[in-house]
Structure 1
Amino acid sequence: MTDDVAPAPSIRSLVLLAVPAIVIGVVSALLLWSLEQLADLLEQVLWHGLPDAVGIAPDSPWLTIGVLTATGLAVGLVVQFVPGHAGPDSATTELDTPPPRLREVPSIALAVLISLAGGVSLGPENPIIAINGAIAVALCARFVKVVPTKIAVLLASAATIGALFGTPVAAALVLTGTVAAVRGGGSLWDKLFLPVAAAGAGALTMHLLGAPPLAFDVPAYGGPSPADFATGLLVAAVSAGLGILAAFVFPYIHRGFHALRHPVLFTTLGGLVLGILGVIGGQITLFKGLEQTGELIANPGDYSTGQLALFTIVKIVALLVAASAGFRGGRIFPAVFVGVALGLFFQSIIPGMPIGLAIACGAMGIVLQATKDGWMAIFVAVAMTGDITLLPLLCVIVLPVWLLVTKAPELAVKPPAISDSSSP
């Protein structure tokens, strides 16, 4: 009955393969850190240096519209004319999408660098996982042939997720389903050993480089009450419902922009629309959303109920526009901002609702819909608050919300059935 099951990997093989896993982890983190540092420098030039030089106020609506429109034009030029065409359309990719060809990597890095610096409402996760995956495959094929291509991709994904969230736990949770599906002997942790090694190396490298941890100062929860399940479920369900609505309209918005056919046209138009949305929602609704989420959590009393509703609506629309208009980036970080803003909105109108519960459930609902991954949703919810006492209640609330999202459309656009690799 077990003749076709491969033996468990030996300790020696795990130890030997841990070396390239750790190297991939360190390299992946360094590439992520370098990309974010360059984006920060370019952001300072675009949003502070140039305005100061020409005498424009940093909060000028014309600056917001101008920078984002110019960002759209620049990304469109990369997508249309730079060799590699910035890789696949980010609207069609997920965290586990196979990596692009190595020759596409420079154009992907350039497009995501411009998008991050220009204030586009997308995160770095999808492109940097693609970049690190392509580089890991190339390095292993050249120097460490004992590491198969699929394992190299898995290690690069784990390393990048660990670096993005500052902990290997996120990678272990996200990749549990993937490695469990791999046929072979040994325990689940035999299969997770190398990805966790890569993720741990990536996370530790980011900490050593001084990257801020994914943690915010939120008042302690203190324990569940009978009303908390109902209010938490309400917030998580509405958050997931907003994600479902976004997933439903996503292909139509994507189709509308791409009807213009030329990337320069639809990314420039997308940048203009993002600029107008930025004027409506304010600069807190720009960029990938992680730092802006921290601003919301740190100063919830600074925003009215109406402002929180506006932030939620503007950011989800900006996410859809950015992802539809050809910009390169991931959807998780801006989705987290949407969920946190929505959670704070409900916390402002539900008397006595704990702020940590509101934030966690708001983030969990939309991330669950965006990723279709319960582990990732629970992890992000706890990470937003840093409060482990929320975990038992979140594990219960996630179950009915999962029933809501499991058959819902994904927050992604299906790639064309036949693609021409030479076209953008």
Structure 2
Amino acid sequence: MNKSLFTERILIKVAQAIRSGKKPFDKERLIDEITTDCFADEAERESWRPIVAQRIELLLTNEGTFISHIRHACRHCEEGRRRCTHVCPTDAIIHTDNGVAIDWDRCIECGRCVDGCISGAIVARSDFARVASLLIHSDEQPVYAILAPAFVGQFGDQISPSKLKGALLQLGFNGVYEVAMAADIITSREAEELVERFHRGDKFMITSCCCPAFMRLVEKTKPALVELVSNSVSPMIALGRLLKAREECKVVFIGPCVAKKAEARRPELQDAVDCVLTFKETETLFRAAEVDVASIGEDVPMEDASHDGRIYARTEGVTTAISRAVHRIDPTINLNAVHGDGIKECMTLLKLVEQGKLAANFMEGMGCEGGCVGGPGTIIPRDEGRKNANSFAETSSAVSALDNHKAEEWMLEYGKKVNLTTGREAGTKPVEAQR
């Protein structure tokens, strides 16, 4: 059984059932349709019914732990062939006689186990069904899609940013915005914060960047270093709050990241973004709604962000953006930066920071190798994603985040109404997200 096709079939059937508007929701009929579509053998269909039922329940209720393990689906892979264990960078996956367990003290919510499990037994909490429901009523309350910088080329070589924007509008979203615009805003804030810190005698700063898995790594494994982290929220949270300051609306983040699902639920941040979809989930939503993205016209341009905001999509992009902004604000500061490319590298660098042995004054951390373009919710290879992100960045009319006039206008109009800081205080333990 192909895990991807099986998962996609469940999502499509659930979305189509929601879009039909029929009530009450006939779960048994849905289970019959999915098992019939996926399995030719009657005995196999019966054995998979409880698995399909649990997957549907997880989609519809969107409750429980951030990561769930469906015991009926687990193949109990042999030692040395357990991909979920192999891909987990913090050794949070534990195998017991009763199956898989997750050590939440070690889990950084990166989602690698979800992507790695060959049988689909490990699943992340999904907003897929909720988004499908929101879009049905988007004429009553606006629903906005905000796209992570890594979106370029994810839906096909011929799918331009303009086509994708048009397709999302056709799907039912009332507007589509680049999160890269908020990356420009956060770049400016972090550059100013870094200059201020250095002037008061601080010698090191860690960017909050856009990676919640990296932030969880710092919080859980090196809590003493939290005070070195910028107090800015992520670009996703920033844009969500700005949109909600503008009007009453719902905000859906679309990106490559499973960890963003957990970030959006953190108590101190949950006011910003209502739902999170991966690129894979979004592609399935297009299919469920029978939206042919390739046939969409090119008449709705995507022109929200600078070059530097758009390169947040890949490793070193945040460093480049902040370095350029710092140099503009205070040319006397010499930024000597390092970047962690993937959790393993980040762990090594954080250990050196803790020991005072890192010959640098600024650190960027990316939980996925290659940066966001290497996330578990992506559709295309990370090298291709990096190339696409760089190419799209070159089309921007502004290079530096400080030259993005649209971001500047949004901050002038809505900036005073929103909190773009995390509320983190040095030495305090962060509030845990609801699992």
TM more than 0.5: no
The higher relative CO (CA closer than 8 Å, separation ≥ 6) is in 1
Give TM-score, length-normalised by structure 1: 0.27
Give TM-score, length-normalised by structure 2: 0.27
Higher helix proportion (structure 1 or 2) = 1
Higher strand proportion (structure 1 or 2) = 2
